[in-house]
Structure formats: structure tokens, C-alpha cells
Structure 1
Amino acid sequence: MFVFLRTTALVFALAGALAACALAFLTTASIVGRALWAAPLPGDVELTQFGIALCISLCLPWCQLRGANITVDFFTVRAAARTRRVLDGLGALTMSAMMALLAWRTAAGAVSVQESHETSMILGLPMWVVYAVLAPGFALTLAVALYQAWGHLRQRELPEVAG
């Protein structure tokens, strides 16, 4: 199970990185067009907003897998390893609940927006696609967080968690 989660999270993160690079090129082209010809790319702000949301969604599973989310361990630095693992397990359960909610609501939002035929203001892109592409990243983060919660609460070492 771990190999599948790790491989899928890595693929998602690489896709998110490629999307971020594409957004950097898009933004650069728009700025150059605006500066040299007073003609930015139409819809550049829309595409950047959609793309950044996609990048975040795709990179979240890898971030969770690596234990790279923000943690506040000021009060637990001196706690026993068992106590820290239980707290990490509860944190992972909380993260999984949040990701379950986000995955469910973005998928439901995609269906709702598709039914209403909503489009973006400038480019006229179907908005349901924006919602739909976010759900898989949230769902994978949910799976990773559940795996971590199970490992922490069973007092097992998790191979990918940094530090």
C-alpha cells in the first residue's frame, strides 16, 4: 500500500510542478506582452488562479507523505515518543477528515457547476473542470493521511515522514 501511495503522490507532485512551470511561462509571456506591445494574454489571471489551485491540490499528498505540513511542536518537544505518535496520529486523522470534506465538496461542486453551465468570465472555460481536477489531489491526501494515522496510532515507524 505504501509503495502505491508514494508513487501516486510523487506523480501528482511532478504534475503539480509541471503545472507551476507552465504558469510561470504563462505569466512571463503575459508580462512581456503587456510591457512590449501593451497586449497581455487574455485570461491570464483566470488561468493563473485555476492553475495555482491545481498545483496546491496536486502537491498536497506529497507534502503530507513527507511530513512537511506545518506542525506546532513547542509543547510536545519533551513529550515521550509514544505521546508524540498518538498526537501525530490524531493530527493525521484531523487532516484526513478535512481532506474528505474538501474532496467531497469539490466533487459535488463540480457536478453542481456543470449542471448550471457556469463558465469563467473572460475565457468562457467551463468551471466544473476547475472543481473536478481538485478532487483527486484531496482524495489522495486523504488516503495518505489515513495511512499515516493508522501507522502513528499503531506505534509504527512511517518510512516517508521526515524528521
Structure 2
Amino acid sequence: MNTQHHILQRRIATPLGPLTAARSAAGLSGLWFDGQKHHPGPLAVPEDDGSDAVLAATEAALTAYFSGKPFALPPLDPAGTAFQREVWQALLAITPGQPSTYGALAERLGRASAARALGAAVGRNPISVLVPCHRVVGADGSLTGYAGGLDRKKALLNLESAPA
């Protein structure tokens, strides 16, 4: 991953473990749990002093999310191919509490034959939780791979299906 895209970072505590949030000049560019697959490792960019609006909005969104409250997304700027960005954008349309399958997501994008490539793009999502790749499940409803770990995927899906 091109870490040159990131210009600032902030650590954010969550009930499922700390996240590293990174921003680019245009918006939130990364959000990773410690030890997550595809985590870029230590970022060679400054730590936020608490004054950055995008990272503050990210932390506020996560706080609301984990409290079961509505939230506004910060501006998003994930680095990826055009296909990856198309898939990540489609993830935002999956309703909380109503997971989608890889096949259904591929059909929704008009790429029914690209379910495998779509799955790879879902797995490379650099913005955990807020771009909800955890809402994609296997055709039989099984919890398939999640870069942050299946225990976290299950916890996120349980949180979203809990009555408010």
C-alpha cells in the first residue's frame, strides 16, 4: 500500500481494540485494527494533536457507531484501483443488520461473474468498520474472512443487529 497517501494519524480506542486512523489531504484514508491483515504497519506521518477535523469526525463517528447511534461519515479517500473504489463505495449501501453476500454484491454492481475479484477487493478495504466490509458474508450466511478477524466481524454484526 502506498503510505505516501497518508499525511496525519490518530489512535482511537474502541470496544474491539484500538484503531489507527489515517487521513490524506482529501479525507479519511485508512482505519485499521492492530494486527489486522493488510495493516500498513507504523506510518511515517505525524500524530494528530487533537485538532484535525477529519480525524475528530472519524472518532466521533466510531463513538456513535459503537453506541448504536446514527453518525455522519467523515470525508473518505481510500487509495485503490478504480474497481476497488467501486466495491468499497458499494459497501456503504449495505444496510446495517442486513448483511449481503459476495454474489449479491457482485450482481448489484453488474459484475455477477466477478464475485472472486470482488471478494479480494472487499478484503483489501483500508477503512475498517466505517466502510462496512464486515457486512459481506458467504452465500450460505457463514462468516467468511475479515481482515480484522472473525471474532470482530461477529461482534460488529451482532452490534448492528441488536435492537436500538
Category of TM-score, reference length = shorter chain: under 0.3
**Bigger fraction of residues in helix:** 1
User: Scaled by the length of structure 1, what TM-score is found?
Assistant: 0.27
TM-score normalised by L of structure 2: 0.27
Higher strand share: 2
Specify the structure having the higher radius of gyration (Cα).
Answer: 1
Q: Which fold has the larger relative contact order, with Cα–Cα distance below 8 Å and residues 6 or more apart in sequence?
A: 1
